[in-house]
């Protein structure tokens, strides 16, 4: 079953929520005006505000229902030949909730027949070097997949993808598509000098998640500059064998079409049963892991 996706490699107007919402809506409408029309548009981490807000996070945070309402108000009609009703979006934002502020990703269907399908809150908060997330946001409680119109999907946010257990948890919960929303500052190469080192690492990480679990992986990257820190873009998508399907440009915004065949995930898992081996062994590994509180003798040679 084919699924058409548009990756919105996006530059927010830092700290200007209304202007960025307008730009997000414009990107959605441009995407749905393309052929083939995408069913899903994927934005990066913190696409609504920019990443490095620090103390400004609380002022810029928005509740998930308010975000969906604001986008629906902006894409309710037709523009550039596109009508966004029935289109799914995944978008990163700082979320305000009664329990705290989170670095979150919303997955929703636009239009009067739509609504919020899932909100993922970043589990692994980067707090080292230039990153200070634990000072300003709360950590999410877990990783799970959900059923969307295109299939069973999971969301991860940036450093979530650096931990191999994140892809494992998503796949074990049935995901055949993992969307990774990222705001990864460029490291290791200046603009124009080649591919930054962080994108080389992302290529290896996302390819490994895809191949190990037999899933499609889509990585949407922020682009632009914030306080002297550059986000290089370089969004990408991978098939269930770990092959890169496409890569976005560096240092500029783009709408990147990619088509995935969801039936390919089942074929890849059948041909190389790494995931089925994981499913069979997962419970036994958990029971016998350090800190589980439950141990059984492991037979000699096991």
Tens digits of per-residue pLDDT, 202-219? 999 999 999 999 999 999
Determine, yes or no, domain membership for 27. yes
Determine, yes or no, domain membership for 279. no
**For residue 58, how many other CB atoms are within 10 A of its CB?**
13
Residue 301 has pLDDT above 70, yes or no: no
User: Structure tokens of 193?
Assistant: 């000098």
The pLDDT of residue 183 is: 97
The pLDDT of residue 294 is: 54
The pLDDT of residue 292 is: 65
With a pLDDT cut of 90, the percent of the chain lying above it is 78
Question: Which residue(s) pair with 95 in the sheet?
Answer: 62, 102
- Distances in Å between the Cα of 19 and the Cα atoms of 81, 84, 264 are 22, 19, 39
Residue 81 confidence class, pLDDT cut points 50, 70, 90: very low
What is the average pLDDT across 169-189? 94
- Find the range with the poorest average confidence among 6-15, 41-50, 293-302: 293-302
Determine, yes or no, domain membership for 292. no
DSSP state of 216: E
Determine, yes or no, domain membership for 299. no
What is the average pLDDT across 119-144? 94
- Find the range with the poorest average confidence among 146-160, 222-236, 287-301: 287-301
Residue 70 confidence class, pLDDT cut points 50, 70, 90: very high
Residue 145 has pLDDT above 50, yes or no: yes
Write the CATH number for 258: 3.60.110.10
**For residue 281, how many other CB atoms are within 10 A of its CB?**
10
Contact 132, 82 (CB under 8 A): no
Determine, yes or no, domain membership for 285. no
Name the residue with tokens 């999971």.
154
Contact 215, 171 (CB under 8 A): yes
Look up the domain containing 203 and give its range. Answer: 2-273
The pLDDT of residue 78 is: 46
pLDDT in tens, 131-140: 889 999 999 9
Closest CA to 7 of 259, 192, 229, 265: 259
The SS3 assignment for 107 reads strand
Q: What is the pTM of this model?
A: 0.93
The pLDDT of residue 250 is: 95
d(C-alpha 203, C-alpha 207), whole Å: 6
* Average pLDDT of the chain, as a whole number: 92
Instruction: Give all strands (DSSP E) within the chain, no chain letters.
Output: 2-9, 40-42, 78-79, 82-83, 88-97, 100-109, 115-121, 145-148, 151-157, 177-182, 216-221, 223-226, 229-232, 236-238, 244-247, 254-261
The pLDDT of residue 142 is: 97
Determine, yes or no, domain membership for 296. no
- The count of domains in the chain is 1
Determine, yes or no, domain membership for 289. no
Determine, yes or no, domain membership for 287. no
The pLDDT of residue 296 is: 53
């Amino acid at each position: 079953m084919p699924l058409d996706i548009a990756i919105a490699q996006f530059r927010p107007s830092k700290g200007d929520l209304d202007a960025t919402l307008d730009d997000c809506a414009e990107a959605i409408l441009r995407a749905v005006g393309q052929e083939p029309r995408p069913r899903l548009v994927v934005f990066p981490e913190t696409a609504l505000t920019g990443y490095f807000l620090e103390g400004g996070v609380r002022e810029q945070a928005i509740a998930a229902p308010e975000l969906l309402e604001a986008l629906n108000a902006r894409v309710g009609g037709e523009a550039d030949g596109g009508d966004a009703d029935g289109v799914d979006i995944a978008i990163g934002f700082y979320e305000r909730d009664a329990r705290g502020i989170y670095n979150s990703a919303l997955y929703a269907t636009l239009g009067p027949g739509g609504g919020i399908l899932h909100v993922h809150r970043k589990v692994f908060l980067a707090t080292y070097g230039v990153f200070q997330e634990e000072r300003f946001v709360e950590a999410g409680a877990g990783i799970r997949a959900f059923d969307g119109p295109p299939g069973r999907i999971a969301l991860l946010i940036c450093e979530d993808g650096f931990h191999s257990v994140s892809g494992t948890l998503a796949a074990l919960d049935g995901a055949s598509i993992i969307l990774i929303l990222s705001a990864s500052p460029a490291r290791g190469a200046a603009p124009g000098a080649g591919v930054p080192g962080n994108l080389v690492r992302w290529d290896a990480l996302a390819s490994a998640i895809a191949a190990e679990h037999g899933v499609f992986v889509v990585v949407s990257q922020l682009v632009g500059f914030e306080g002297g820190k550059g986000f290089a873009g370089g969004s990408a998508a991978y098939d269930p064998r770990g092959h890169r399907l496409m890569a976005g440009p560096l240092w500029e915004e783009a709408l990147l079409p990619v088509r995935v065949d969801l039936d390919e995930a089942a074929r890849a898992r059948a041909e190389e049963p790494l995931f089925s081996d994981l499913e069979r062994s997962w419970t036994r590994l958990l029971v016998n892991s350090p800190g589980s509180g439950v141990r059984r003798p492991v037979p000699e040679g096991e």
